[in-house]
Amino acid sequence: MEMIEMLRIAAAGMLLCCIILLCYSLVPSAGLKYLWKRNSRKRWLEGRTDKRLYLTFDDGPSREYTGQLLCLLKQYRIRASFFVVAEFARENPDLIEWMMEEGHLVGMHSVQHKNALLRGRNFIREDFTQSMKTMEGMGCKAEYYRPPWGHLNLWTLFFVRYWNLKLILWDVMAEDWSAKETAASIERKLLRRVFPGAVICLHDGRGAAGAPGRTLEALGSSIPALLEQGYVFERMDAYEYESV
């Protein structure tokens, strides 16, 4: 009987932990993604957006790839939004300066790109504080934040409001970080998945070996194709932002 009682207590404890995790991280993460995409689709279906696209890049800056990307964007006179990892930004301050000189928006994407699902208050507070200090030290006023993997928790939401940041998710991905994807498959996914007003999330750093290079190759052909379809590209500060 004692063993059965212990198993019951253990099961109850596990159930309680699962409920806490759901309320603390999983439900906020999934719920906000759902609301973001619902709002985007609603604006599109109601005709409240024209043929604008919002090109965003995560996980950089990368010494190997970000400069190439900036040159490509300049070629087509496109201004994009970069959500940078503070650790990489400190290693490449010239690339951050280059982004700002070219008129791109620079936002935050954490200090080291660590998952926030199971992180507590102290970690989240320090992550935001150090990210803000890094951006300010480079002359960049960060007003936009994208959580790594789109994962967040209740403390993330608290510090987003505390720092008066706008939380940015996305509508379109092409899994460009994956080793399974080729430049051709990334291009196909982008052209098939975009819609007027969509926020596109791609990556100029991290991912599988050579992944950002395949993204660059895909953009070299998909950007002119989208321009030919009548799309224009804007920064996230031109986005019809609705709080989620």
Q: How many CB atoms lie within 10 A of CB 13?
A: 10
Task: Report the chain's C-alpha Rg in angstroms.
Answer: 20
Q: How confident is the model at residue 104 (pLDDT cuts 50, 70, 90)?
A: very high
Q: Render pLDDT for 124-177 as a digit per residue (tens, 0 to 9).
A: 999 999 999 999 999 988 899 999 999 898 999 999 999 999 999 999 999 999
All structural domains of the chain, each given as residue ranges with its CATH number in brackets, are 2-237 (3.20.20.370)
Mean predicted confidence (pLDDT) in 10-37: 67
Mean predicted confidence (pLDDT) in 184-210: 94
CA-to-CA distance for 89 and 109, rounded, in angstroms? 10
Quick check: pTM over 0.95? no
With a CB cutoff of 8 Å and minimum separation 6, the contacts of 128 are: 108, 159, 162, 163
Is pLDDT at 48 greater than 80 in this prediction? no
pLDDT at 243: 58
DSSP E strand stretches across the chain: 52-58, 81-84, 105-108, 144-145, 166-167, 172-173, 199-203, 232-234
pLDDT at 27: 79
Q: How confident is the model at residue 10 (pLDDT cuts 50, 70, 90)?
A: very low
pLDDT at 199: 96
Is pLDDT at 15 greater than 60 in this prediction? no
Buried-state track 204-235, b at ≥16 Cβ within 10 A, e below 16 = bbbbeeebbebbbbbbeebbeebeeeebebbb
With a CB cutoff of 8 Å and minimum separation 6, the contacts of 6 are: none
224 preceded by a cis bond (ω within 30 of 0): no
pLDDT at 13: 44
Q: How confident is the model at residue 50 (pLDDT cuts 50, 70, 90)?
A: confident
Residue 112, H or E segment: none
Q: How confident is the model at residue 7 (pLDDT cuts 50, 70, 90)?
A: very low
Q: Render pLDDT for 108-137 as a digit per residue (tens, 0 to 9).
A: 999 999 888 778 889 999 999 999 999 999
Higher-pLDDT residue of 242 and 83 is 83
Is pLDDT at 42 greater than 90 in this prediction? no
